[in-house]
Chain A
Amino acid sequence: MTQPFVHPYIPNSAPETKAAMLKAVGADSIDEFYVDIPADLRMNRPLDLPEALVAEQDLVSHVQALLSSNVSTKENLSFLGAGTYNHFVPTVVDEVINRSEFLTAYAGEPYEDHGRFQALFQYQSLMGELLNMDVVNVPTYDGFQATATSLSMAGRMSGRRGVIVASDVMPDKLSRVQDFVSPNLDLVFVPTVNGTADVAAVAALVTDQTAAIWLETPSFTGAVETAIQELADAAHAAGAVLVVGTDPVGYGVITPPADQGADIVCGDIQSFGLHQWFGGAHGGFIAVHDDPKFIMEMPSRLFGLESTDVPGEYGFGDVAYDRTSFALREEGKEWVGTAAALWGIAAGVYLALMGPEGMAELGETLLARTQYAQQELAALPGVELTDSALHLREFVVDFSSSSVSAHSVVETLRGQGIEPGVVIGEYELLVCVTEMNSQTDIDRLVTAIAAVTANAAVTNTQEKNA
């Protein structure tokens, strides 16, 4: 006789309970509940799945064994960025977001989930201070979606289709944006000059059909835009808006785009208290001024402060709920759904811990270490920077003058336990430096690359002499 299947996750799989419940509802078997599912749609065999590991210890052994073959960035020296960044995550951030009450909650009302509403209102508010903007959404999926939505908002507000892309955009992000906006917007690309926007060329393309100028700072190559105000002026002169895609990690020391005329500022919050997770921990923010023209185009939820019946007590609620697809189905703005709220809470805790001084210090450290790495690498024979723009965290080195492919640099350094960056061209490597990379780490990278290019120089000379 086979044992009845009783599983720890399924209390009523206990046979006595099952029988009592069937009896209570007047059913002879569970099959009676499926009477609406026609026989030809029924599975007539068990699902073909691996054998279950019903004992928790067996499951643990199995999954640990699978994951144990990974070699993490803690076990090598990583200069990888390109969308996912290795920043320090304060322990308190993980402590808070792993709290069961936050981790397992979903869509509770402002009463029983008051904590969630307050934590996300505070996230909105903390981001607002960093960005100098009055309105920030409850996070959307990721920076890709935030950007696609921000551009779409510009299109809806203006009734226009034109978007002028003024910066070098991360290819994956551009792919997502293009797929999303294709029914409503047409993108025109203006090549950058020395890593940043060609302001005159962008301005010359602005017409009365332009919905937005789209700027990325830092750009895909880490270049920081210096002409935000000029681009904003060019957009505004034609009744268009300036959409700035950004990673907010530098705004402890760098002027936020809103102070230079940006209308919509958007991007990813992974840098704020989220681990790398193999690229699996992203959240998107969209920030605007307190202008209903913009706010009413936002698809995400916005949590607002409210009073209650008790003086001195804070309540919360959904602001302008009747713009969302929850309220209006297809007549809402795009859609809203399960996105990245817990990551928003994490980012809020991160900003609260960092405070004004922490964010300023982080910005300085990132600028300093980035510039140090740039200087040291550019000092090597056969290694050049692709531009002289100001960079934050990422920059591109070019090995073409030493005739060493970026791919071979990566292969060689991987053999030494170093991930030197992301190959973005035959000779071009995108290098990322964060506060996690010390001077010693950077020196090690430089020494390793120096050896590769020196070797190549010797080989090239030998070939020439041969």
Chain B
Amino acid sequence: MSLPVAPKPAVRRFHQASWDEKIIFELSTPGERGVLVSRPEPGVRSAVGDVVANLPVSLRRKKKAALPEMAQMRVLRHYLRLSQQNLGADLNIDVGQGTCTMKYSPKVNDALIRTTKLVDLHPLQNEADVQGILDLIWRLERMIAEISGMHAVSLHTSGGSTAIWMNISMIRAYHASRGEADQRDEVITTIFSHPSNAATAKAAGYKVITLHPDADGYPDADALRAVIGPRTAAIMITNPEDTGIFNPRVKEWVDLAHSVGALASYDQANANGILGITRAREAGFDVCHFNLHKTFSTPHACGGPGAGASAVSEALEPFLPGPVIVRDGDRFSLNRDRPQSIGKVAPFYGVVPNLVRAYSWIMALGAEGLREVAEIAVLNNNYLMKRVLEIPGATAPYAEGRRRIEQVRYSWEELHADTGITTEQIGVRMSDYGMHYWTSHHPYVVPEPFTLEPTEAYSKDELDEYADALTQVAREARENPEIVRTAPHNQTVHRTHEDTLDDPEKWAITWRAYQRKYFS
């Protein structure tokens, strides 16, 4: 054979890097060093003597830590190999992780933060020396206030769930300030709101009531009416929900909460499709949060750090964590005098590198761009939905024939009934085509669920490629189910056993525990 090269197959032939890499402790060679450390000067030594020998016996470590001994390039090479065995959103048409808004994290924003003017700032420096970053954070707060319509914003939390925690903590403080802390011991959420709404409310000491949708998949206002009352501290809801369905009666929900003296907390993890379209303020919410690592593009970093943005009404502003940035003319200062504040939610002022990234992302888009983000995210989603629903065995339960906002929770119930193949097995097989795929939070209310969220970041061709791969896997489930059951075939490693992960006698959470349990 010679030129021309044959056309590419419809679905990509992929193989993940597979270095068969050892665990780092197995790479240790006694005496090697990865980095050397600044040592005490002779003058220091002669002044203080042998500080280690002078430690009290009980404090002197008997045996050096059994860390690996590796020359620098060996450490580098090992970790670079691991990085190649990680897909990452930059390499992947990452529409398979619904609810998580895996969009493009612009490289320019990564470059902008790598300056000594940010990297090497200490949070307690002279305020006069940190005016630039205070200015930037203040501006970002005002932008989030406008995007949400709310009064004041805190950017202190380092993830979405902890922002939800902060919101329920402020709600708790609000009720306490009115003498209603004991009376109000319940929080109401919905099953298609992110589980952290339920979990943080429970951690804050509340009884959690979880409502299921009506037959058509819409949040059920009658169900809310049946449980809301003087014991309700708050409703904590996502909208659109994780089904991609927007609750058209959300204002009624909020009004119901207010009518019994409860507050309404809005989880805006799914805000990407409604930027500039509708806001927390118009629906009457008292508090909301955004995930800057979802809607506002900061990289997901293998699971953090992200950043949370909580936006509140005038009534909740006194409860925000301190310090808050105050602008006086063109000078910025930190106000720590906040008698009603819930106190600190995190060290200092939040995940500052991500605040700069999010600010830069908004500045690159502006009002028109944010609206375009939302509209294209929704267009992409409805386009992908059309493609997915053409696959035999795939359905989108609820709200039949209706459009969705930015994501859809689909079901393979029919495919499963026909073939016995589960959604998890399809996910593993998708990885053979270089695609990530996620099912759903638990419990699986939708049978054999999968949740796709294409965001604005992927081209039509890429959405088609993802749909083509999904179509291919569904066909394999019918025609060659064994290849799906035995997947992965093109991955770093092969089918992983799971039988020790829930057995305290056998699980190995560290290398030392593994050595102790199996080799001693």
* A and B associate in one complex: yes
Q: How far is the CA of A276 from the CA of B35 in the complex (A)?
A: 20
Residue interface mask A354-369, B partner, CB < 8 A = 1:
1111111111110111
Let me know if B158 and A340 touch, CB within 8 A. Answer: yes
Q: Please tell me which one of the listed residues A78, A301, A334 contacts residue B122 in the complex, with CB atoms under 8 A apart.
A: A78
How near does chain A come to B58, taking the closest CB pair, in angstroms? 6
Q: How far is the CA of A336 from the CA of B222 in the complex (A)?
A: 31
Let me know if B34 and A12 touch, CB within 8 A. Answer: no
Q: How far is the CA of A184 from the CA of B103 in the complex (A)?
A: 39
A83-B348, A315-B493 given as contacts; is B122 within 8 A of A54 (CB)? no
A175-B344, A337-B161, A353-B75 given as contacts; is B37 within 8 A of A47 (CB)? no
Let me know if B496 and A110 touch, CB within 8 A. Answer: yes
Inside 8 A of A30's CB, which chain B residues have their CB?
375, 378-379
How near does chain A come to B19, taking the closest CB pair, in angstroms? 9
Q: Please tell me which one of the listed residues B34, B51, B102, B120 contacts residue A90 in the complex, with CB atoms under 8 A apart.
A: B34
B-contacting 9-mer, from A93-101, A187-195, A393-401, A448-456: A93-101
Let me know if A119 and B79 touch, CB within 8 A. Answer: yes
A-contacting 9-mer, from B5-13, B42-50, B224-232, B475-483: B42-50
Closest to B73 in A: A92
Q: How far is the CA of A62 from the CA of B112 in the complex (A)?
A: 10
Let me know if A368 and B75 touch, CB within 8 A. Answer: no
Inside 8 A of A99's CB, which chain B residues have their CB?
80, 83
Q: Please tell me which one of the listed residues B56, B89, B133 contacts residue A104 in the complex, with CB atoms under 8 A apart.
A: B89
Inside 8 A of B56's CB, which chain A residues have their CB?
226, 390
Closest to B205 in A: A183
Q: How far is the CA of A179 from the CA of B344 in the complex (A)?
A: 8
**Is the CB of B288 closer than 8 A to any CB of chain A?**
no
**Is the CB of A403 closer than 8 A to any CB of chain B?**
no
Which residues of chain A in 54-96 are interfacial with respect to chain B, using CB atoms and an 8 Å cutoff?
54, 56, 59-60, 62-64, 66-76, 78, 80, 82-84, 86, 88, 90, 92, 95-96
Let me know if A304 and B507 touch, CB within 8 A. Answer: yes
How near does chain A come to B232, taking the closest CB pair, in angstroms? 16
**Is the CB of B305 closer than 8 A to any CB of chain A?**
yes
**Is the CB of A281 closer than 8 A to any CB of chain B?**
yes
Inside 8 A of A54's CB, which chain B residues have their CB?
364-366, 369
Let me know if A278 and B205 touch, CB within 8 A. Answer: no
Let me know if A142 and B158 touch, CB within 8 A. Answer: yes
Inside 8 A of A71's CB, which chain B residues have their CB?
125-126, 129-130
Let me know if A48 and B88 touch, CB within 8 A. Answer: no
**Is the CB of B315 closer than 8 A to any CB of chain A?**
no
Let me know if A96 and B80 touch, CB within 8 A. Answer: yes
B-contacting 9-mer, from A32-40, A200-208, A235-243, A458-466: A32-40
Let me know if A335 and B87 touch, CB within 8 A. Answer: no
**Is the CB of A212 closer than 8 A to any CB of chain B?**
no
Inside 8 A of A402's CB, which chain B residues have their CB?
none
Which residues of chain B in 378-395 are interfacial with respect to chain A, using CB atoms and an 8 Å cutoff?
378-383, 385-386
Let me know if A368 and B51 touch, CB within 8 A. Answer: yes
Residue interface mask B97-119, A partner, CB < 8 A = 1:
10010111110101110011111
A-contacting 9-mer, from B256-264, B412-420, B451-459: B451-459
How near does chain A come to B70, taking the closest CB pair, in angstroms? 6
How near does chain A come to B403, taking the closest CB pair, in angstroms? 5
How near does chain A come to B454, taking the closest CB pair, in angstroms? 9
**Is the CB of A439 closer than 8 A to any CB of chain B?**
yes
**Is the CB of B492 closer than 8 A to any CB of chain A?**
yes
Q: How far is the CA of A303 from the CA of B354 in the complex (A)?
A: 26
Inside 8 A of A180's CB, which chain B residues have their CB?
203
A41-B283, A100-B88 given as contacts; is B304 within 8 A of A129 (CB)? no
B-contacting 9-mer, from A157-165, A344-352, A380-388: A344-352
Closest to A72 in B: B120
Let me know if B90 and A104 touch, CB within 8 A. Answer: yes
Q: How far is the CA of A40 from the CA of B278 in the complex (A)?
A: 9
8 additional contacts, CB 8 Å, given A41-B282, A101-B86?
Answer: A71-B125, A138-B303, A141-B157, A256-B61, A321-B501, A325-B198, A365-B38, A419-B125
Q: List 5 A-B contacts (CB under 8 A).
A: A36-B403, A48-B367, A145-B162, A308-B496, A339-B159
